[in-house]
Amino acid sequence: MLLTCHCFYFKLTSASVTMDLPQHGYRATKPRARAAPPTADSVLFEDTSSGAPAMSSQGYYTPGYNMAGPSNDMQGGPAVNNLFADPMANAAMMYGSSLANQGKDMVNKEISRFMPVNKLKYFFAVDTRYVMKKLMILMFPYTHQDWEVRYHRDTPLTPRQDVNAPDLYIPSMAFITYILLAGMALGIQKRFSPEVLGLCASTALVWVIIEVLVMLLSLYLLTVHSDLSTFDLIAYSGYKYVGMIFTVLCGLLFGSDGYFVALAWSSCALMFFIVRSLKMKILPSLSTDAMGTGSSAKPQFRLYITVATAVFQPIIIYWLTSHLVR
């Protein structure tokens, strides 16, 4: 009897332990439902090229967000259009542009007072054909026959149209070439320094300025009225740099003998060129007060001015080139 009770108690205890297992962390497993395979209509990746999903309040993107850029309101499109459509803004812009144009006109007038740009352009209207012919006339003026400057409706033709017209291109380029050649000559003789080169350039420029001022003063004191302008005088005075370059080159290549031969040739050619060129501008000119004895004396004064200008050229050439050749 006791044994039977004990066996019954053991069975009850085993059953209670089996029922209490889920309470200690174990549970019965259930079979999971397998997902259905994707159909033909399903898409593996969603097309996001048209726009990215918007951010929801939980931090996830939701469809409907546009990444194309800010709208016109964000870019200020209507505001900008309203700004240009505003009559006050248009009036302010027109007033500002008118002030800018007035300032530009005033600057151009002030520049034209001291340096007439249109006249300056005339003296640089050259081409290669004109430059070659002019250089040949400067070095071999004896073969040139027609020295008259041509006009068109009381306006002289540009240098590229008339080889007898003065220009400033050849004098300016010849001046720069002379400075470079002087630096090379000083370097060959071991006497180069920036101070000496600067002194050489300033001396050559000052001599041209003095020559032009003397010419203007002489024409004014003798009341010689001609169509010679200041730029014309600068051009005729600057042509001497071509002869100076030729003289220095011959001195560097052939020594002192070549230097003096080139000096004589360039001086004679330049004097002949100056006399024939100024003769067409100074000698035929008539003074406004030409009457009585004055009219017979003034042609002599014009001749003196022409000859003095021509004779002065070899002196300057020798003064500016003799120290470069030894």
Helix axis angle for 194-221 and 294-321, nearest 10°, is 180
Angle between helices 240-279 and 294-321 (to 10 degrees): 170
Instruction: Tell me 159's DSSP state.
Output: T
Mapped onto helix, strand or coil, the DSSP state of residue 79 is helix
Q: Where are the alpha helices (DSSP H) in the chain?
A: 2-20, 72-75, 77-85, 87-114, 117-123, 128-139, 169-188, 194-221, 230-238, 240-279, 294-321
- Taking the alpha carbons at both ends of the chain, their separation in whole angstroms is 155
Task: Provide DSSP, 12-61.
Answer: HHHHHHHHHGGGGT-----PPPPPPPP-TT--SS---SS-PPEE-TTS-E
Residue found by looking up tokens 């380029």 in the block: 173
Neighbours of 208 (CB within 10 A): 18
pTM > 0.75: yes or no: no
Distance CA(240)–CA(263), nearest Å, equals 11
Q: What is the pLDDT along the chain (326 residues), one digit of tens a residue?
A: 444 444 544 444 444 444 444 444 444 444 554 545 555 444 444 555 444 444 444 444 444 444 444 444 444 455 545 555 667 777 777 877 887 877 777 766 665 665 667 788 889 999 999 999 999 999 999 999 889 888 888 788 999 999 999 999 999 999 999 999 999 999 998 988 999 899 999 999 999 999 999 999 988 888 777 778 889 999 999 999 999 999 999 999 999 999 999 999 999 999 999 999 988 777 655 444 444 444 444 667 778 888 888 999 999 999 999 999 87
Token reading at 103 = 């300032």
How many other β-carbons are positioned within 10 Å of the β-carbon of residue 17?
A: 10
Instruction: Give residue limits of the domains in the chain.
Output: 167-325
Selection from 147, 174, 151, 140 nearest residue 163 by Cα: 147
